[in-house]
Amino acid sequence: MEQTVAPVEMKKRKDIAFYNYEYTTLDQVKISPLDRGYYFGDGVYEVTKVHNGKCFALSYHLDRLYRSLRLMKIPATIAPDELTELHDVLVEESGVQNGSVYLQITRGTAPRVHDFPEGITPNILMYVNEDNPHKAELAKNGAHVITIDDIRWQHCDVKSLNLIPNVLGAEKARQKKCAEAFQFRGDELMEGTSSNVFMVRDGILWTRPADDLILKGITRQLIITKVAPSCGITVIERKIDREYLAKAEEVFYTSTTAGIIPVLKIDKETVGDGTIGPVTKALQERYAGLMAEGLP
Ligand code: PMP
C-alpha cells in the first residue's frame, strides 16, 4: 500500500466525500465518463450504518466488500485497516450522528471495451448519508409490500452496482404505495429489492438460506447469530414458498439502513392478525440494544 490517506483540512461538513485518496465535498467529486462503473455498472459497494456517531458492524461490511471484489475480479488496492480509518474520519468530519457511509469501488477508468483493460486502477468513492426518517416510521408502524418476479442474474450474493431489476422493483412498489417488493423465483421467496425477508411461524423464525441467489445481509446475519439467540428464538434457514409465506404469523424485512421493518400486508393480504407481532417487537428491541452496545 504505497498511497497514503490525505489529511483532512475541512470543517465539519455533512457533504464531505473521499475520492481516490482526496477529501473533498460531494459536489466537487469529478468522475470520468470513462469510469467503468458509469457505463457498465462494473463495480461493488457497501453501506454501513452510523449509530450515535460510530460505524456499526463495519468489519462485517468490509468482509463482504472484499468477497464482492474477489468475485468480480477487481483487485483490492486498499487495505481493510485503511478503509476502517477512512470510515471513522468521514463520520467524524461529517458530524453525522445517525446515518450511513456509502462506499463504492469501480474497476477503473478506461475507453469502453468489455474485457478488463490492462493497468487500470480501481476508483474509490465514499460519503456519508443521514438517516431517512421515513424508515424509522416504517419500523414503528409497519409496511405494506408487493411481490414481483426475480429477474436478476445468478450472483445476487455479490453487492454489485448493477441494480436495475432492484430499481424497477422498488419503483413498482412505490407506484402501488408500498415500501418494498419481495422477489420470487417461480414459487420461491428470495429477498426484497434492498432487504432480506424473515417470517415467523409457530414462534420460530424462518429465512431463506444465503446462497448465491440472495445477498447475505449483515442485518440478517446479526439476527441469526446474535439477536434471535439472545431472545431465545429459534431460527431455521429454509426455502420459503408462497403457500408457506401465506401462513406466516409475522413477516419482516431487514437492511442496514432500515433495521427491522414489520410487514402488515403482502399484495393487499393481511399478515397474521395485521398488527406488529411479539417476535418482531422483541427482535427490534434487542437489535436496538446491540446497536447501542456497538459492534466493530
Ligand atoms: N438484499 C439486497 C438485495 C440488498 O440490497 C440489501 C441491502 N444492502 C439487503 C439484502 C440487506 O443487506 P444488509 O442487511 O447488509 O444491508
CATH code, domain carrying 122: 3.30.470.10
Strands lying side by side in the sheet with 43-51: 22-25, 16-19, 123-130, 99-106, 43-51, 54-55
pLDDT at residue 2, as a whole number: 46
C-alpha angle with apex 108: 104 to 114, nearest 5 degrees? 115
CATH at 153: 3.20.10.10
Q: For residues 253-261, give the mean pLDDT.
A: 98
Mean pLDDT of the chain: 96
How would residue 12 be classed by pLDDT, with cut points 50, 70 and 90? confident
Same domain, 244 and 158: yes
Residues 140 and 285 occupy one common structural domain: yes
Could you tell me which residues are beta bridge partners of residue 150?
A: none
DSSP H helices in 201-252: 218-222, 228-231, 242-246
Same domain for 116 and 214, yes or no, is no
pLDDT of residue 1: 45
Which of 102, 131, 160 finishes a domain?
131
Specify the number of domains making up the chain: 2
Under the banding of pLDDT at 50, 70 and 90, the label for residue 210 is very high
Residue 281 belongs to a domain: yes
Q: What is the extent of the structural domain holding 228?
A: 135-293
pLDDT of residue 6: 53
Q: Which residues on neighbouring strands pair with residue 50, listed in sequence order?
A: 55, 99
Q: Which residues line ligand 1 (CB under 6 A)?
A: 47, 166, 191, 194-196, 215, 217-220, 254-256
Same domain, 34 and 52: yes
Q: Give yes or no: residues 119 and 168 share one domain.
A: no
5 falls within a domain: no
Alpha-carbon distance 244 to 204, whole Å? 13
* Residue 151, in any domain of the structure: yes
Average pLDDT (169-173) is 98
- Pair 127, 148 in one domain: no
Q: If you average pLDDT over residues 76-96, what whole number do you get?
A: 98
Ligand 1 atom with the smallest distance to the CA of 215 is 1
Q: Which of 4-13, 108-117, 187-196, 240-249 is least confident?
A: 4-13
Same domain, 174 and 146: yes
Over residues 51-68, mean pLDDT: 98
Predicted confidence band of residue 9 (pLDDT cuts 50, 70, 90):
low
- Residue 9 inside a domain? The answer is no
Question: In this model, does residue 22 exceed pLDDT 60?
Answer: yes
Among residues 11, 54, 159, 247, which one is catalytic? Answer: 159
Percent of the chain with pLDDT over 70: 96
Give the CA distances from residue 51 to residues 98, 116, 182, in Å, rounded to whole numbers and listed in that order. Answer: 5, 38, 27
* Last residue in a domain, options 100, 131, 162: 131
Q: Is 159 a catalytic residue?
A: yes
Residue 269 lies in a domain: yes
User: For ligand 1, atom 12, which residue shows the shortest CA distance?
Assistant: 217
> Given this model, what pLDDT does residue 132 score?
94
Residue closest via CA to ligand 1's atom 5 equals: 194
Q: How far apart are CA 50 and CA 38, in angstroms?
A: 27
| pTM for the predicted model, two decimal places | 0.96
Q: Tell me which residue has cell 481516490.
A: 20
Is residue 234 one of the residues assigned to a domain? yes
Provide the pLDDT confidence category of residue 223 given band limits of 50, 70 and 90: very high
CA distances in angstroms from 92 to 14, 42, 58, 97, 127, listed in the order given: 10, 30, 15, 9, 12
pLDDT tens for each residue of 32-54: 999 999 999 999 999 999 999 99
Same-domain check for residues 165 and 235: yes
Residues 39 and 174 in one domain: no
- Domain finish residue from 131, 166, 186: 131
* 88 plus 167 within the same structural domain: no
Same-domain check for residues 125 and 153: no
Q: Let me know if residue 1 belongs to a domain.
A: no
Q: How far is the CA of 15 from the centre of ligand 1 (A)?
A: 24
Ligand 1, atom 4, residue with closest C-alpha: 194
Share of the chain above pLDDT 90, in %: 96
What digits encode the pLDDT tens for the residues 100-155? 999 999 999 999 999 999 999 999 999 999 999 999 999 999 999 999 999 999 99
Residues 113 and 172 in one domain: no
For residue 7, being part of any structural domain is answered with no
- Answer yes or no: is pLDDT of 10 > 90: no
